[in-house]
Structure 1
């Protein structure tokens, strides 16, 4: 899903009706595999002591280093065994309804391409490194896997009620840029942090951003920026607490949000 939601339309040429494509793993070049290895080695070092245990366990379980860009066919066997999820390749950002349908059916849509060697530090459109290294390790955790499925199911209702922008903020501040409180201190679980060298350090160590306790209504009232390091992070007390709050009926919350203004990032 894009930052502001992507409307429907026919899939691009070569894509199936559900927007999936073949990963075509054997077509990656040696240079593309080398980019993955360089990114993996940098991030896996940075995330020791910074990422949450669930993420680090998932990274080990899926053995994402291998010989370069992971073959989805290989990692899907272990992922399916652990939580019933699998990764499907897509040509880029997909329409919201397609995205939600994949999540609701425990399929994570991942970009097939990888950034160039001169784009290691920033890429606006998510690539295979962001999607697989950043997101997929958390999908090995049963609680987070249930959360992602619940989010997909909730997306359909949010679209019908015209509250997609509120639900997109929940995704941004949890799945992409979420922090977790642990007895050892704050830890990363959001993919946008885990896949970024700069954000991995900044999110935990910089005095610049605010780090607020997670509150569902506040999260859904807070816009975000996609072109800079985050000014604000929301901290969940546990992955179970995140799942529990997502399983409630959002209808009353959406009614409440309709009467409330957005919260400025500097509020």
Structure 2
């Protein structure tokens, strides 16, 4: 999740960033090892996705054609913008809340430009290129989810002292959300999709709460970032997300 200000010790090169915290991708500078890690992760998680992920995500993933190597953001934007008006922008890593939400409010999704090492395939504390892109970008091709993400950015940017509640909504939906479909319970959250362990745990793990989505409950439930989740909220339809985006918090 991007909704934290950068602090000392975070990975990523923050030298020379633009005022909006973006950086060039420099797609030609990725090493052969970077490309190999990308292909390995995409192949593995796509295999899980075919069985466990919602159809909207699969459709978006197919439209992006990312299996052969790390995607060039300019080429991705040429395909994505005509679909929903969204584009991806490069960032060095975690960026401040205000910058992140402003990007969302203007249909720009920040994607970290560095990728994890082979020794980190299963877990990272910070979001990398694979998490940000594979986990988030495919669903931005879906008109309903794309509209929600912009609305979320607008609301979070205006949240003031209620920002923690909006961070919880993001965590339990955009990062760790599940949805009922005609094919059964499916995943749409990026935090699940980019982790092999979390996929099986979310769908079939023992001792896990899978609760009906209710906006107020979601926004009042704390979360932990350093372990597999014990609680997931389940949508019936992506349109439910607008309940939260349009509510007024008391």
* TM-score greater than 0.5 by the shorter chain: yes
* Residues 72-128 of structure 1, C-alpha deviations (whole Å, 9 max, x = no match): 111111110110000000011110000010000000001000000100000110000
Point out where structure 2 has 5 or more consecutive residues left out of the alignment.
8-12
Deviation at 1:50, TM superposition (A): 0.5
Distance, in Å, in 2 between the alignment partners of 1:62 and 1:246 is: 29
TM-score by length of 2: 0.95
What CA deviation, in whole Å up to 9, does each residue of 1:237-259 have, x standing for no partner? 1012223x134242xxx21xxxx
State how many pairs are aligned: 245
Tell me the equivalent position of 1:34.
Answer: 36
Q: 1-side partners of 2:16 and 2:158: how far apart?
A: 30
Q: CA deviation at 1:167?
A: 0.5
TM-score, scaled relative to structure 1: 0.89
Q: Contact 1:85–1:139 (CA<8 Å) still a contact in 2? A: yes
Correspondences of 1:163-242 after superposition (within 5 Å)? 163-242=162-241
Return the offset for 1:51. Answer: 0.2
SS of corresponding position for 1:220: helix
User: Structure 1: which 4+ aligned runs deviate by more than 4 Å?
Assistant: none
Deviations along 1:26-75, one digit per CA (max 9) or x if unpaired, are 00000000000000000001111200000000000011113x11111111
Supply the distance in 2 between the matched residues of 1:12 and 1:27 (Cα, whole angstroms).
17
The answer (yes or no) to whether the contact 1:54–1:138 under 8 Å persists in 2 is yes
Match of 1:73 in 2: 74
Partner residue of 1:53? 55
Q: Residue 10 of structure 2 aligns with which residue?
A: none
CA RMSD of aligned residues (A): 1.5
Is the aligned partner of 1:6 residue 2:5?
yes
Kept after mapping to 1: 8 A contact 2:122/2:196: yes
